Chains A and B, each alone.
Chain A
């Protein structure tokens, strides 16, 4: 797939872009996780990745990656019928508020809809205002599931 607006292309991630994804994630989270992102690439965009898994990258005309999104259609976990999950979304802080996150999200929604998903969901930390307000702005709201957890120590 390839989606583009006047200045940004959204394409399936290629191996050549993983270093940029690692660097972008490290800039945002403060931790470089090369092994993790290489593994995600193998499972979501590599030659043998399973169907209904997606890893898209937004690039400038100069071929510079400025954002990415990872997602998967999963079925019957927690009793849920097939549903698209957004597992990760990042846009370079210097490139925000230009609609790049929306381009990535819409491209992912398009892929998932084409593959049969009728709902898209994600999970966001309660104090992650940037991502929460982004997904709210894209029309996501609290769904029928409630996340519960407890410490094991």
Chain B
């Protein structure tokens, strides 16, 4: 499993906003905090607004604000706005001979792996991820 750049940027943004839900931040501020492209992040922010995870605040000092529940919003609820995380077996349209049996078996295995991946991502809330991050950094230091 490999997370797309858009998913990673979305998690940066949502976690940044969720860590201080009363405050609003501009795309430029978030992009600078994480060292990412403001152009790419702006597209991600529009998707996050459409999903209802964040809201845009107009006017002077406007920006974005987290609009979910940090103890209920999971990593999957952010990531699935950008990708399905379905495994892809790179097969031709028409399978010959015994290839159909092997690919059918592989499909079942990949479905099992995809289900576990989604369950794991859907079990970890933003709040828990922030704690994991701090604990991992503490261990690494």
Contacts and interface: CB of A to CB of B under 8 A. Distances in A.
Interface of A: 97, 126-127, 129, 132-133, 135-137, 142
Given A136-B123, A137-B127, A129 B74 contact: yes
B71 A129 contact: no
B132 to A, nearest CB: 9
Nearest to A142: B120
Interface of B is mostly: helix
Interface of B: 71-72, 74, 115-116, 119-120, 122-125, 127-128, 131
B115 to A, nearest CB: 7
17 contacts: A97-B71, A126-B115, A126-B119, A127-B119, A129-B74, A129-B122, A129-B123, A132-B119, A132-B122, A133-B74, A133-B123, A133-B128, A136-B123, A136-B124, A136-B128, A137-B71, A137-B128
Contacts of B119: 126-127, 132
Given A129-B123, A133-B74, A135-B123, 18 more contacts: A97-B71, A126-B119, A129-B122, A132-B119, A132-B122, A132-B123, A133-B71, A133-B72, A133-B122, A133-B123, A133-B124, A136-B123, A136-B124, A136-B125, A137-B125, A137-B127, A137-B128, A142-B120
B134 to A, nearest CB: 12
A143 B26 CA distance: 40
Q: 8 closest A-B pairs (Cβ-Cβ)? A: A132-B123, A126-B119, A137-B128, A136-B128, A133-B125, A136-B123, A136-B124, A133-B123
Nearest to A97: B71
Contacts of B71: 97, 133, 137
B70 to A, nearest CB: 11
B79 to A, nearest CB: 14
Nearest to B73: A133
B121 to A, nearest CB: 11
